[in-house]
C-alpha cells in the first residue's frame, strides 16, 4: 500500500491499532509536546490531536516513534530499498541472484519524480502563518517552530527537481523580531545541502527561493533526514521508500511537492538575517539565540484535509532516534562501501549523535610486526572525519577489526571495554584543535567552534579493567567515587568556575592520583561531573553527561600526564571534566504545572491512559 497522503497513513495506522485520538481541545503551548513526550517515553502509539487551540487544523505526532511503526508504514517497500542499497554495494548480486532481483529496475522507476499536471491537492486553499498550529515544545523556546519541516531548494546553476535538496532544517514561525505572517526563521547547520544552494544564489546577488513542505506521505518526511550524496535529490529516495513516484509542480516559480499537507513559500535574500531561537534541541539543551537566515513569506497553501505533523526533540532517546535507527537499517553498508577499510560506524544517539562516534576499521599496514599499533585505523579516522556529517564528530573511538572480528559498535559497553583494555594512553590520543563541531554543541569555544579527539586502539590487551571502587585519597574539591562501567570511574567535583581555576584543580588532581597510580591501573577513564551518582546511574546518563559537556582541548586531563614532541598523553587514566560550564546552554526541563494539567487527558482517555 503506497500512501498518497498523510491522511491515508493516519487512517491506516488507526485501523491497525497504531494510533490514538485525543478529542479534547489541547493547547499547542507546551501541552501537546508534554503529551507526546509522555507517550513516546512509554513506547506508545502515534497521537492524533483533533482540536488544537487557536487553529483549525488537526495535528499528529509520534508517527515515527518506534522502529516497528516505521517498518509498518513502509512495509511494502522497505525490502526493495534494502536490495537497492545492497546492489549498489555489490552489483554482482544481480548475476548471483537474478530471480530475486528481477523487479529492481521497476523499483528504480519510482525514484523519478513525476510532474503533476492536474491534481495538486496542496494548492487547494491559502492560509497564513499565524493560522497554523503554533506548537511550542519547551518553556524557554523563542516561539512556535515547525519541527518536521521538509525544506526544498534548487541549485541556481542547475535548476530542476533532480538537482534539488530537501532537508529538515528547523523553522521558527513566531517570536523574536519576526514580522507576523511575513517573516519566519530558517536555521540550518554545517554540512547541509541548502548551504551550497544559498552560497550560489548569494554569489549571483539573487534571493534563494525556498519551499517548506509539511506533511504528505511519510516517505517525503523521512527523505528530508536521509543522508544522500550532494547533488542527488532526496525526492528520488522518497519515491522508492514510499513505493510511489513523488509528485511535484511549480507555482509562482516555487517547487511544490503536491501531495504535502502544507507548503510555505518564500525567499532568502543575501545578507538578511535575524535572531533565531532559543530552541530545545536533540542534545537535551537549548540552542541559544543566533543570527540565521530570514525567510520573507510569499504564500502559505494547504490541502482540503490537511493534518499538521510534528515531533518533539530533547534529550535522547526521542522520536528522531527512530529516524536514525531506520537510516541505519536501510543503509548499514553504505558508509563501509564509501570508506574502504571501515567495517562499522555508529553515531551514538544517547550522546547527541555528533559528539560521540564509534568506528571499527581494518589494521593491515604492518602484519609482519609482533607488536601491533594503530596505523591504518588512524588513516581511516582522518577519512571518517572528512566524510559528510561524520566530520562533525567530537570524540571518535576507533578499534581494529582484526583484534575482535565479532565486535560491534552498537554494543556500547562491549565496545568501550574493548577500547579501554587496549588503548595506549601515552601514544593513542590524537587531538584536533581549533576546528568545527556541531552547531548545536555549546561545549566548544564558540558557535561551530571547538575541538576533536581521536582515540585509537589496536593490538593485544594492555590491562584488565576493574569493577570495584578503589580506596583513593582525593584532593580537596573532589569526592563521591562511583563505578560507571568496568574501567570507568565517576567522581564529583565542586562547580566549575574558570578554566584558570580548573587548570589548578587538575594539576593537584594529577599529582595526588599519580602518587596512587597502582590503585588506578584498572581505570583508564575517569569522568568528573557535578553529580557522580547521576552520571553513573545509567549508561545513557554517562554518555550524555561525559560527551555533551566537554570540549576535548579544554576539558581533557590525565593522571600521569606527559608531553613528548608536542604529543600529549597520560600514564594511568584519561580524565574528562564534564561539569557544567558558564558558556554551556541550559538543559531542557519540563514545566511541572503543564505536566499536572495534562494528567486530565490520560485520566479521561482510556486508550491514552495506558501510556501515561
- Interval 139-196: pLDDT, tens: 999 999 999 999 999 999 989 988 888 889 999 999 999 999 999 999 986 556 688 8
pLDDT at 214 over 70: yes
Same domain, 432 and 560: no
Same domain, 218 and 299: yes
* Burial track 294-333 (b if 16+ CB lie within 10 A, e otherwise): bbbbbebbbbeebbbbbbbbbbbbbbbbbbbbbbbebbbe
Rounded Cα distance between 275 and 288, Å, is: 10
Ranges 17-21, 98-102, 355-359: which has the least confidence: 98-102
| pLDDT of amino acid 95 | 43
Which of 315, 350, 375 is the C-terminal boundary of a domain? Answer: 315
Q: How many distinct structural domains can be found in the chain?
A: 3
Which of 290, 216, 283, 215 is closest to 247 using CA atoms? Answer: 216
pLDDT at 554 over 60: yes
In a domain, 542, yes or no: yes
Whether 53 contacts 25, CB under 8 Å: yes
Residue 539: which H helix or E strand, with range? helix 539-548
For 296, the domain range is 6-73+110-315
Question: pLDDT class for 329, splitting at 50, 70, 90?
Answer: confident
Distances (CA, A) of 601 to 36, 307, 376, 612: 12, 21, 57, 9
Same domain, 538 and 452: no
Same domain, 419 and 483: no
Average pLDDT, the chain: 91
Same domain, 502 and 405: no
User: Domain of 48: which CATH number?
Assistant: 2.30.110.10
Which of 457, 491, 510 is the C-terminal boundary of a domain? Answer: 457
Question: pLDDT class for 526, splitting at 50, 70, 90?
Answer: very high
Preceding omega of 317 cis (within 30 degrees of 0): yes
Q: What is the average per-residue pLDDT within 4-9? A: 96
Q: What is the average per-residue pLDDT within 519-534? A: 97
In a domain, 82, yes or no: no
In a domain, 324, yes or no: no
In a domain, 121, yes or no: yes
In a domain, 582, yes or no: no
Torsion sign, CA atoms 494, 500, 504, 506: positive
According to DSSP, the residues that pair with 74 across neighbouring strands are: none
Residue 363: which H helix or E strand, with range? none
Q: What percent of the chain has pLDDT over 90?
A: 73
pLDDT at 99 over 50: no
Q: What percent of the chain has pLDDT over 70?
A: 92
Same domain, 157 and 293: yes
In a domain, 563, yes or no: yes
| pLDDT of amino acid 228 | 67
User: Domain of 424: which CATH number?
Assistant: 3.40.1670.10
Same domain, 526 and 433: no
Question: pLDDT class for 92, splitting at 50, 70, 90?
Answer: very low
Same domain, 137 and 239: yes
According to DSSP, the residues that pair with 300 across neighbouring strands are: 127, 264
Whether 431 contacts 451, CB under 8 Å: yes
Q: pLDDT tens digit string along 240-284? A: 889 999 999 999 999 999 999 999 999 999 989 999 999 999 999
Chain-centre distance of CA 550, in angstroms?
18
In a domain, 589, yes or no: no
Whether 473 contacts 510, CB under 8 Å: no
pLDDT at 369 over 80: no
Ranges 41-50, 286-295, 363-372: which has the least confidence: 363-372
In a domain, 605, yes or no: no
Same domain, 223 and 309: yes
Whether 262 contacts 194, CB under 8 Å: no
Same domain, 365 and 392: yes
Same domain, 154 and 256: yes
| pLDDT of amino acid 91 | 47
Which of 457, 492, 526 is the C-terminal boundary of a domain? Answer: 457
Same domain, 390 and 263: no
Q: pLDDT tens digit string along 102-130? A: 455 556 678 788 999 888 999 999 999 99
Which of 527, 556, 554 is closest to 542 using CA atoms? Answer: 527
Amino acid at each position: 500500500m503506497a500512501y498518497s497522503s498523510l491522511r491515508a497513513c493516519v487512517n491506516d495506522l488507526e485501523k491497525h491499532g497504531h494510533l490514538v485520538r485525543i478529542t479534547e481541545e489541547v493547547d499547542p503551548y507546551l501541552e501537546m509536546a508534554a503529551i507526546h513526550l509522555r507517550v513516546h517515553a512509554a513506547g506508545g502509539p502515534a497521537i492524533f490531536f483533533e482540536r488544537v487551540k487557536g487553529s483549525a487544523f488537526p495535528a499528529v505526532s509520534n508517527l515515527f516513534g518506534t522502529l516497528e511503526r516505521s517498518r509498518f508504514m513502509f512495509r511494502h517497500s522497505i525490502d526493495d530499498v534494502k536490495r537497492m542499497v545492497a546492489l549498489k554495494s555489490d552489483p554482482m548480486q544481480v548475476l548471483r541472484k537474478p530471480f530475486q532481483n528481477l523487479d529492481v529496475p521497476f523499483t528504480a522507476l519510482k525514484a523519478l519524480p513525476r510532474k503533476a499536471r492536474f491534481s495538486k491537492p496542496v494548492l487547494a486553499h491559502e492560509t497564513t502563518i499565524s493560522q497554523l498550529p503554533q506548537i511550542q515544545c519547551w518553556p524557554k523556546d523563542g516561539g512556535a517552530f515547525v519541527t518536521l519541516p521538509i525544506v526544498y531548494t534548487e541549485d541556481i546553476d542547475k535548476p530542476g527537481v533532480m538537482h534539488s535538496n530537501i532537508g529538515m532544517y528547523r523553522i521558527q514561525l513566531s517570536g523574536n523580531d519576526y514580522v507576523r505572517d511575513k517573516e519566519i526563521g530558517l536555521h540550518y547547520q554545517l554540512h547541509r545541502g541548502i548551504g551550497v544552494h544559498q552560497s550560489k544564489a548569494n554569489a549571483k546577488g539573487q534571493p534563494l527561493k525556498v519551499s517548506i513542505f509539511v506533511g504528505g506521505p511519510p516517505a517525503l518526511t523521512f527523505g528530508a533526514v536521509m543522508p544522500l550524496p550532494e547533488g542527488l535529490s532526496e525526492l528520488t529516495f522518497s519515491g522508492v521508500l514510499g513505493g510511489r513516484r513523488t509528485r511535484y509542480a511549480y507555482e509562482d516559480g516555487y517547487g511544490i511537492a503536491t501531495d504535502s499537507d502544507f507548503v510555505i513559500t518564500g525567499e532568502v535574500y543575501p545578507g538578511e538575517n535575524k535572531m533565531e531561537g532559543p530552541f530545545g534541541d536533540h542534545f537535551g539543551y537549548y540552542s541559544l539565540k543566533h543570527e540565521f537566515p530570514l525567510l520573507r513569506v510569499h504564500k502559505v497553501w494547504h490541502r482540503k484535509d490537511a493534518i499538521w505533523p510534528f515531533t518533539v526533540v530533547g534529550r535522547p532517546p526521542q522520536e528522531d532516534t527512530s529516524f536514525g535507527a531506520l537510516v541505519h537499517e536501510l543503509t548499514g553498508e553504505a558508509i563501509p562501501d564509501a570508506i574502504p577499510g571501515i567495517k562499522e560506524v555508529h553515531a551514538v544517539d544517547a550522546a547527541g549523535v555528533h559528539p560521540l562516534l564509534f568506528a571499527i576499521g581494518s589494521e593491515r599496514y604492518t602484519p609482519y610486526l609482533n607488536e601491533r599499533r594503530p596505523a591504518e585505523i588512524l588513516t581511516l579516522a582522518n577519512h571518517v572525519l572528512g566524510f559528510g556529517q561524520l566530520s562533525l564528530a567530537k570524540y571518535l573511538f576507533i578499534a581494529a577489526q582484526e583484534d575482535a572480528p565479532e565486535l560491534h559498535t552498537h554494543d556500547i559497553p562491549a565496545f568501550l571495554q574493548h577500547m579501554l583494555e587496549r588503548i595506549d594512553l601515552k601514544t593513542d590520543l590524537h587531538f584536533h584543535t581549533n576546528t568545527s563541531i556541531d552547531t548545536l554543541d555549546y561545549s566548544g569555544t564558540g558557535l561551530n567552534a571547538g575541538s576533536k579527539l581521536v582515540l585509537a586502539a589496536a593490538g593485544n590487551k594492555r590491562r584488565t579493567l576493574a569493577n570495584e571502587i578503589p580506596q583513593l585519597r582525593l584532593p580537596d574539591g573532589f569526592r563521591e567515587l562511583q563505578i560507571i562501567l568496568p574501567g570507568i570511574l565517576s567522581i564529583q567535583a565542586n562547580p566549575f568556575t574558570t578554566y584558570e581555576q580548573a587548570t589548578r584543580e587538575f594539576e593537584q588532581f594529577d599529582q595526588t592520583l599519580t602518587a596512587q597510580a597502582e590503585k588506578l591501573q584498572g581505570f583508564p577513564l575517569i569522568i568528573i561531573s557535578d553529580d557522580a551518582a547521576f552520571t553513573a546511574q545509567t549508561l545513557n546518563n554517562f554518555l550524555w553527561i561525559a560527551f555533551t559537556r566537554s570540549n576535548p582541548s579544554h576539558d581533557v586531563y590525565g593522571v600521569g600526564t606527559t608531553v613528548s614532541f608536542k604529543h600529549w598523553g597520560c600514564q594511568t587514566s584519561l580524565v574528562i571534566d564534564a561539569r557544567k560550564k558558564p558558556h554551556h546552554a541550559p538543559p531542557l526541563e519540563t514545566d511541572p504545572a503543564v505536566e499536572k494539567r495534562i494528567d486530565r487527558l490520560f485520566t479521561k482517555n482510556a486508550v491514552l491512559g495506558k501510556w501515561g
